[in-house]
């Protein structure tokens, strides 16, 4: 899955000449923590909500209403633009974008093309949606997990066993817990017992919440 297939393509943006109070209103109305700043369609930076709030005249200002209106009518975001914007390309693998967001503790990433033109935005909500989708939750069925020492071919073996039972796959994924690999399968059935029995008879180790209970109790 690629970022370009899941990103938001309608993005609220501002330019360096956008008035400060206009940027503030955009953030409030759209519940945004930041705004991409574009100049002639090219991404030049971003604007943070806390910077906008700090720059707005406070209620304790000594300016009268007329003076305040005059100031706000001229105050732009030019000096508040952060230039260290982190971006990804549409062809970036979505898991690589997720790792980048986690490593840099970012709630989202601007998506730009090879000309640095802003083409979209991807955030944590989208990443969670992708996780749910890839694990097949909304497609129903049941899930089970197998624990094993990592070796080639196990996923194919299990897939072949289940396929021979006439049961369709919904999803399959692998995770690591310490040095143990855990394969998680979701299959199109309401009764896992025939699958579990068959796999146990073939010496596969089936694991569930009770297997790890001591680690979180």
Residue 29: half-sphere exposure toward Cβ, Cα within 13 Å: 7
Shared-domain flag, residues 68 and 173: no
Shared-domain flag, residues 185 and 172: yes
| Domain finish residue from 99, 115, 130 | 130
Q: Provide the percentage of residues in the chain whose pLDDT is more than 70.
A: 91
How far apart, in Å, are the Cα atoms of 82 and each of 10, 108, 132? 21, 15, 33
Shared-domain flag, residues 168 and 107: no
Mean pLDDT of the chain: 87
**pLDDT at residue 57 in the model:** 65
CA dihedral 77, 82, 83, 85 (to 10 degrees): -120
Shared-domain flag, residues 125 and 148: no
How far apart, in Å, are the Cα atoms of 152 and each of 36, 86, 106, 114, 180? 45, 36, 35, 38, 14
The pTM is what? 0.76
Q: Which residues contact 47 (CB under 8 A, 6 or more apart)?
A: 14, 23, 34, 35, 36, 37, 77, 80, 81, 82
Shared-domain flag, residues 11 and 67: yes
Residue 153's Cβ-count burial label (10 Å; 0-12, 13-18, 19+) is exposed
Query: 36: closest CA among 116, 97, 130, 90?
Result: 116
Shared-domain flag, residues 99 and 202: no
Report the CATH number at residue 139: 3.30.2130.10
Q: Do the beta carbons of residue 71 and residue 65 sit within 8 Å?
A: no
What are 20-63's pLDDT values in tens digits? 889 999 999 998 888 999 998 899 999 998 888 887 765 435 44
Interatomic CA distance for residues 53 and 143, integer angstroms: 47
Shared-domain flag, residues 126 and 159: no
Report the CATH number at residue 28: 3.10.580.10
What are 100-135's pLDDT values in tens digits? 999 999 989 999 999 999 999 999 999 999 999 988
Shared-domain flag, residues 7 and 98: yes
**pLDDT at residue 153 in the model:** 83
Q: Do the beta carbons of residue 35 and residue 13 sit within 8 Å?
A: yes
Query: How many distinct structural domains can be found in the chain?
Result: 2
Residue where the block lists tokens 């072949």: 160
Q: Which domain holds residue 175?
A: 135-216
């Amino acid at each position: 899955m690629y970022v370009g297939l899941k990103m938001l393509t309608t993005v609220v943006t501002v330019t360096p000449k956008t008035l400060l109070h206009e940027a503030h209103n955009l953030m409030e109305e759209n519940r945004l923590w930041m705004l991409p700043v574009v100049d002639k369609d090219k991404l030049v930076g971003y604007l943070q909500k806390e910077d906008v709030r700090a720059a707005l005249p406070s209620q304790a200002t000594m300016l009268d209403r007329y003076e305040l209106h005059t100031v706000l009518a001229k105050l732009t975001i030019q000096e508040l633009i952060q230039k260290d914007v982190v971006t990804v390309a549409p062809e970036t693998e979505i898991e690589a974008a997720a790792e980048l967001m986690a490593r840099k503790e970012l709630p989202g990433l601007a998506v730009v093309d090879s000309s640095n033109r802003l083409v979209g935005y991807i955030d944590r909500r989208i990443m969670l949606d992708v996780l749910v989708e890839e694990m097949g939750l909304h497609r129903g069925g049941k899930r089970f997990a197998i624990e094993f020492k990592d070796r080639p071919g196990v996923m194919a073996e299990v897939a072949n066993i289940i396929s021979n039972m006439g049961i369709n796959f919904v999803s399959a994924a692998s995770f690591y817990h310490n040095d143990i690999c855990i394969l998680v399968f979701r299959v199109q059935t309401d009764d896992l017992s025939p699958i579990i029995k068959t796999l146990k008879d073939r010496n596969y180790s089936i694991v569930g919440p009770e297997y790890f209970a001591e680690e979180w109790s």
